[in-house]
Structure 1
Amino acid sequence: MVGTSQPVLAQSSGDEARIRKLESEVRALQRKVFPGGDGRYFEPEITGTPNPAGVSNPSTTAVTDILIRLDALEAQIASLTAQTEQNSNAIVLLSDRVAAMENGGSAGSTGGAPVTGSGPTSVLPTATSATTTTPTPAPTPTPAVASPTAERIAAVQQIAKPQTDDAADDEYSYGYRLWNAGFYPEAQQQLTMFVEAHPNHWRTTFGRNLLGRAYLDDGKPNDAAPWFLKNYQANKQDARAPDSLLYLAETMIAMNDTNRACIALAEFADNYPAIASGRLSDQYQRNLGKVTCN
């Protein structure tokens, strides 16, 4: 008996090694098909079924255990094979639909099987047989800036630039003289250079206010408004802050923005009541007469 049992044991040991190798390969295949899988996808290891209390199971031989484990492996391999085929089919269908979209046709025209099921159906834009091309509008030519005439250049040169100990004040005064003479573009250029070069000079509040007026008098209220607002907000106690607020209201009137004009006029009356009834009374009343405010 001893002599005949040794080959059986050797054969069982070899079968056990083959079974363990198969189980390892199946687990590797499971991880490949279900990356990051957990208990929702992996069947638990094959273990003996716990016995109810008081009930005993008949003992199994090594061959019976091997057969049970082989059956489990075959079932797992069949499940993985079916899942792989489903995944491959889904990839083919998706590839067909992408190709159909790129070619401007429907998914069915590429030979792929139609997608059916209870899931939502994606609605693709209907392709047209001819591509509609939106004509590119011709660029609007930029109006050429007219060069100043010789007479204008000569007239501007007649405006003398002051020469005092305060160079910054001289820059502002020169801008004022250009504005006062009606050379608004030249005054805009000169005053812009002044306020940018001297943001903290005592004349800067005059310069920003006058720069807004140079634009407003030149028929450019859109360019004037930012300067009036900036001068008012920079320091409401500056010498020309109330002037800029009142001119801002006047600019809004020129732009047909009654709502903002009324807001500016109301704020002017609230913040500067003495000036509204004194130095700027006429201008304030004149602007009030141009709009109807609630």
Structure 2
Amino acid sequence: MRILMAAAALSALVAGTGVAHAQSTAIEGRVDRLEREMRAVQRKVFPGGAGQTLEPQIVPETNVNAPGTPAGSALSDLTQRVAALENQVTSMTGQVEQGQYRLRQLEEAFNAYKRSTDARLKALEDGASSVGTGGPVIAPVDLGETPARPTRPPAETATPKPTGTRAQQVAAIQKPNSGDPAEDGYTYGFRLWSAKLYPEARRELEAVATKYPQHRRASYSQNLLGRAYLDSGAPSLAAVAFYENYKKNPNGERAADSLYYLAQALTKLKKPASEVCKVYTELDQLYGPQLSAEMKAGVAEGRVAQKCK
């Protein structure tokens, strides 16, 4: 009888040891799986390592209990390791999600900027397509004001509008030949503009401004290029020409004129009064003493019309 009881007790002890060993094996599997997942997340968040990887907060014990000893301490350590690994995986996952959210925000901001830029470029292209380079002359727009025209040298006398076909009108404009190509190009462009042959005038004036940017007539040509656009009903392209003349050559002899006409082009484009007033203010601050009485009167009228403060 005693032998049977001893055998039963031994069997129970062996069975309990087997259950504990099975539980320990299952937890070890969870630990290994979580450690692999954490390393995978670390490789994604910190490519190449660079000393940024995180080590588990709980490390295995160096002293391993011999089989048959109580498993409570080992199971407790494994449970702590599992909890620590789960917390680290959760933290790393949160960092990845935050990075993805910031990336989406950057993409949305870039797409909004691209749409705005595309719309502005399309508006300029539409304005350019409405002004042909070889089509009929477009009637000048009545600006409803008396603009301050630049002081003209003796060669820049007003040219009467020629008659006949387009080719005959262009041929009737005399080309100067002083030996200074920039001077001659500007004078010829001015004569074409004065005859309201705007597309031909634009070609001559743009060529002078592009080929001879250091010549004093570059400022004249770029400003008159904007005038040719403005007079032919293309205020958007005129605004670009005026702004480039002021921005690239602020000390040029027609920089102040370009700022003055820039305000008029913005008015034609129905831009907010605050933008137009800003141009008038900058004109006064930078070139006020240099403005002619006629231009000062035009600025004063423009500020009143825009209700500038």
- TM-score (normalizing by structure 1): 0.52
Cα offset, 1:228, TM superposition = 1.5
Q: Structure 2: which amino acid aligns with 1:246?
A: Y
In 1, the alpha carbon distance for the partners of 2:292 and 2:215 equals 29
Aligned-partner residue type, residue 278 of structure 1? A
Q: Distance in 2 between matches of 1:279 and 1:198?
A: 30
1:46 corresponds in structure 2 to: 64
- Partner residue of 2:172? 158
Name the aligned partner's letter for residue 176 of structure 1: F
Q: Offset at 1:216?
A: 0.8
Q: 2:211: which partner in 1?
A: 197
2:268 aligned partner, one-letter code: A
Which residue of structure 2 aligns with residue 278 of structure 1? Answer: 293
Aligned residue in 2 for 1:171:
185
Going from structure 1 to structure 2, the CA distance change for 1:191 and 1:41 (only over 3 Å counts) comes to same
> Could you say if the C-alpha distance between residues 229 and 289 of structure 1 is closer, same or farther in structure 2, counting changes exceeding 3 Å?
same
CA distance in 1, matches of 2:29, 2:186: 85
Distance in 1 separating the partners of 2:171 and 2:280:
39
**CA, structure 1 residues 267+191, in 2 after alignment: closer, same or farther (shift >3 Å)?**
same
**Using the alignment, how far apart are the partners of 1:282 and 1:269 within structure 2?**
12
Q: State the structure with more CA Rg.
A: 1
**Structure 2 alignment gaps of length 5 or more:** 1-24, 40-54, 83-125, 137-163
1:15-164 alignment, distance < 5 Å: 33=33, 34-35=35-36, 38=56, 40=58, 42=60, 44-47=62-65, 67-68=68-69, 148=135, 151-164=165-178
Residue pairs, 1:180-219, within 5 angstroms: 180-219=194-233
**What is the Cα deviation at residue 146 of structure 1?**
8.7
Cα distance per residue 1:203-250 (max 9 Å; x no partner): 111011111111111111111112212222334332111111111122
Take 1:287 and 1:179, find their aligned partners in 2: how far apart are those partners?
A: 25
Cα separation, 1, equivalents of 2:263 and 2:186: 24
Relative contact order, higher structure (CA 8 A, sep 6+): 2
- Amino acid corresponding to residue 229 of structure 1 in structure 2: Y
User: What's the Cα RMSD here?
Assistant: 3.8
Aligned length: 189
Structure having the higher helix fraction is: 2
Q: Which letter maps to 1:155?
A: Q
Normalized against structure 2, the TM-score is what?
0.50
Distance in 2, matches of 1:39 and 1:284, equals 74
- Cα distance change of structure 1 residues 214 and 146 upon mapping to structure 2, 3 Å threshold: closer
Q: CA deviation at 1:267?
A: 2.6
Q: 1:251 to 1:147 in 2, by over 3 A?
A: closer
In the superposition, relative to structure 1, how do residues 241 and 146 fare at CA in structure 2: closer, same or farther (>3 Å)? closer
Aligned to 2:256: 242
Identity, in percent, stands at 30
Deviates further, 209-218 or 188-197 = 188-197
Q: How far apart are the structure 1 equivalents of 2:135 and 2:228?
A: 18
> Retained in 2: the 8 A contact 1:268–1:276?
no
- The 8 Å contact of residues 133 and 199 in structure 2, kept in 1 or not, is answered as no
